[in-house]
Amino acid sequence: MEFQIPDFYPAAAELFVAGMALLVLLVVSFVRRGATVAYWLTQVTVVGMAAVALLSGRDVGFTFGQMYIDDPLGDFLKLWVALSVLTSLFYGRRYLIDRGLESAEYYLISMFAMLGSMILISAGSLLTVYLGLEMLSLSSYALVAINRDSTQSTEAGMKYFVLGALASGLLLYGISMVYGATQTLNIIDVARALFEQQANRPVLMFGLVFVVAGVGFKMGAVPFHMWLPDVYQGAPTAVTLLIASAPKLAAFAMAFRLLAVGFWDFAQQWQMMLILLAIGSLVIGNLGAIAQTNIKRMLAFSTIGHMGFILLGLASGVVGGERYLADNAYSAALFYVVTYVLTTLASFGMVLLMSRAGFEADQISDFKGLNKRNSWWAAMMSIVMFSMAGIPFFVGFFSKFLVLQFVVATDHVWLAVLAVMMSLIGAFYYLRVVKLMYFDEPLDESPIVAGVGVRLVLSANVLSIAALGLFPNLLMYFCSLVIHGSF
């Protein structure tokens, strides 16, 4: 076989990030105040990555022997990853400095986590999926445990690592079965083998189950959710924000590429599995959130509930063998994921804003009487909470509504009823936060200190939730466009 130089162009964004990461590694070894330099270089890298992703990709392109895909979905998600990493690092910086956690390593590892997300998003082969997943996961384990002196933080890191390793093992096991049945690792070839019915179906079904388990773990869907509340609570809030946002985009891409592309001919089967995961996530996520007193933990359970909705969207593609709804249903799930990430950034951004040196503000009761302390931030937090509860005119309503539309279209009216009932339960604990802010007396009267930049960006972030709630059309259209272009 003749050696060919691969076409690097489709992977330009990833190569850029990898190069910059190595450069930063080198630079911070030689400068003083390495953390500050690393912070700014990382932010430049993130912005640069967005620019490269935007400029480099137009149509669908493959490289590295089809192990790598550059398509509109990938570019779109990478832009969102850039946005979320950019804001996460920005919101979290003061928190880290206050606690003496800011270091060059933190930003480097964040950059590698981002790279992992990007590889996962653009994976064209099962091996690339695994590569991206591990890169993302290993970086996340390290980030969660970055506060070495905190038992909570290291415990969370340990839990995350053990369960994550187990999930990776499951996924790898599934991949090996798929390979055994189809003799290929390339996702499109897997789909072709399924379509031509050459493969051994029972083995593939086994493989599918493990693949779904791997996807479920990454998303945090019940029953693979055990790590999520502990990790969200135990990690420093800045890290929680980082692992709650961008990786969800990658997990969506992973689910889409593996299930909707690779296992397309098994859609009926994996839809049933996803529906079960979705029901579990909706029920456990929303019921579990009620009992929480720690806001990070509450948001963790609410994440599980939101994942239930995303899974519902993914599970509503194929009706009785008919597939005409599929790309619209996946667009709905994509819309849900990106708006969810936007809302999550704002919610943890608020938690970060409320915290200060020596004070975590991670109890729900820390929000008591916020309206009396500062009515602007109380209003901002209520917008976030109402949006998560799915109350119009905020974007959370439209993302739920769009997904429900396809759930009903697949004739699963009962599932839609279950989902709305669980949203009702969800409304209870979101409203409780609003209640504390508006109806209760503040516990401490200290003003909220934050830099002008953080205040502006966080306000813009929240107001974008409101603006998208009034005018969601453009984003919906984009989501549908990228799914059409990549499916």
Partner 1 sequence: MTGVPYLSLSIWIPIFGGLLTLASGSDRNAGIARVIALITAIAGLAVTLPLFAHFDVASAAMQFQEDAAWIPYMRINYSLGVDGISMPFVLLNSFITLIVIVAGWEVIQTKVAQYMAAFLIMSGLLNGIFSALDGVLFYVFFEASLIPLYLIIGIWGGANRVYAALKFFLYTLLGSLLMLVAFIYLFQHSGGSFSILDWHDLKLSESSQAWIFWAFLLSFAVKVPMWPVHTWLPDAHVEAPTGGSVVLAAIALKLGAYGFLRFSLPIVPDAAQYFAPLMITLSLIAVIYIGFVALVQTDMKKLVAYSSISHMGFVTLGFFMFNQLGVEGALVQMISHGFVSGAMFLCIGVLYDRMHSRQIADYGGVVNRMPKFAALFMLFAMANAGLPATSGFVGEFMVILGAVKFNFWIGFAAAITLIMGAAYTLWMYKRVVFGAVGNSHVAELEDINKREFAFLAVLAVCVLVMGLYPLPITEVMHASVTDLLQHVAAGKL
Q: By CB under 8 A, name the binding residues for partner 1.
A: 371, 375, 382, 386, 391-393, 397-398, 401-402, 404-405, 408-409, 413, 416-417, 420-421, 423-424, 427-428, 431-432, 434-435, 438-439, 471-473, 476-477, 480
Residue nearer to partner 1 on the CB measure, 219 or 332: 332
Residue nearer to partner 1 on the CB measure, 358 or 447: 447
Distance CA 332, CA 338 (A): 10
Minimum separation from the CB atom of position 314 to partner 1 (A): 18
29 to 25, 26, 32, 44, 350: CA distances (angstroms): 7, 6, 8, 18, 34
Minimum separation from the CB atom of position 341 to partner 1 (A): 20
Minimum separation from the CB atom of position 291 to partner 1 (A): 17
Minimum separation from the CB atom of position 478 to partner 1 (A): 10
Residue nearer to partner 1 on the CB measure, 31 or 421: 421
Q: Are 430 and 385 in contact (CB under 8 A)?
A: yes
Minimum separation from the CB atom of position 77 to partner 1 (A): 19
Minimum separation from the CB atom of position 245 to partner 1 (A): 25
Minimum separation from the CB atom of position 333 to partner 1 (A): 15
Minimum separation from the CB atom of position 91 to partner 1 (A): 25
Residue nearer to partner 1 on the CB measure, 296 or 400: 400
Residue nearer to partner 1 on the CB measure, 266 or 386: 386
Residue nearer to partner 1 on the CB measure, 51 or 443: 443
Residue nearer to partner 1 on the CB measure, 160 or 406: 406
Minimum separation from the CB atom of position 334 to partner 1 (A): 13
Distance CA 411, CA 86 (A): 41
Minimum separation from the CB atom of position 57 to partner 1 (A): 23
